[in-house]
Structure 1
């Protein structure tokens, strides 16, 4: 299996696959309450069967080129993930997302990992627009969008029903020409 280094701190990005369901469930269990603040994943991945089903769904998306899921590891331990929730190569659009367990917060892991997958999507798959949908109250995730040079496209007011409450969602995006220009400027 391949791994992509995310820097000098031992962090790396690797695909997540169905055979890793036990490890994935243990990771979700470690961060269940924290991850669940803004993300329904802990409600979906509740046991080994649902963990395997979630990973299998992303394996199917990878096989059909409609999504991807990558684990973020520090010193070999799964601590989070970045993913393309959806990907439409024909239309040139993708939606990226992330989550971390509490032990991994504040280390720049998500920003580094999302930078890798956006770069891959634009350069290798020809994606023109990468979106970042985020709860308007999720400041850390909004900060990632800003650090990646994304533009705020707008707010979908009370569009997301989560745990019985309606939430606003912000949509951020980066376009391929802007991404390439930013990367060349660095």
Structure 2
């Protein structure tokens, strides 16, 4: 079981089936907000959909391919952060994240991504952390920028969001650059 206490208000822990209803409620209450940048929102229509997502993340963790964590702020589930892919051969971890609208602006995601980056480099001995965000998603892009990730480029039409493509900006952090 993975559990990390970042500070007295903020923890990360592996998603569990018991989180399904809380995760669904967070998704459902912020559906319009989340839909702007997340392609899976429309297909998450029931608690069972969230349960299926959690089961998928549990398999990924067991197979050491990924790790999806519940972000808890003052005990409440407020979003998720993940190593969407753990490339053990090349020692690259790909981070993804989202946060409920009501929890923005508290520095939560910056602290979470700092913790995940440190964990991947220090504990897993990975060489590179990769974060990709839609070009126009300035809130998401501000996280790696704030943490000193290098903007490495832009991938044109990298993701289909409901009715249009969006470009992605790629950010990277190397172990040799990580000063924490």
**1:131 and 2:114 are equivalent in the alignment:** no
1:101 matched residue in structure 2: 100
**1:23 and 2:22 are equivalent in the alignment:** yes
1:21-100 correspondence to structure 2 within 5 Å: 21-100=20-99
**1:145 and 2:160 are equivalent in the alignment:** no
Shift in Å, 1:3:
4.2
5+ long unaligned stretches in structure 1: none
1:160 matched residue in structure 2: 159
Q: Is the 8 A contact 1:89 1:126 kept in 2?
A: no
Q: How many residues align?
A: 180
Q: Is the 8 A contact 1:35 1:41 kept in 2?
A: no
SS at match of 2:30: helix
Q: Is the 8 A contact 1:16 1:69 kept in 2?
A: yes
Shift in Å, 1:2:
6.2
Partner Cα separation in structure 1 for residue 40 and residue 104 of structure 2: 17
Shift in Å, 1:147:
1.2
SS at match of 1:159: strand
Q: Is the 8 A contact 1:27 1:101 kept in 2?
A: yes
5+ long unaligned stretches in structure 2: none
Shift in Å, 1:72:
1.3
Partner Cα separation in structure 2 for residue 80 and residue 31 of structure 1: 11
> When the two structures are superposed, what TM-score results if normalisation uses the length of structure 2?
0.93
1:14 matched residue in structure 2: 13
Q: Which 4+ runs in 1 deviate beyond 4 A? A: none
Q: Is the 8 A contact 1:136 1:169 kept in 2?
A: yes
Partner Cα separation in structure 1 for residue 157 and residue 13 of structure 2: 35
Partner Cα separation in structure 2 for residue 41 and residue 6 of structure 1: 28
Q: Is the 8 A contact 1:134 1:169 kept in 2?
A: yes
Shift in Å, 1:44:
3.5
Partner Cα separation in structure 2 for residue 47 and residue 171 of structure 1: 32
Cα RMSD, aligned residues only: 1.5
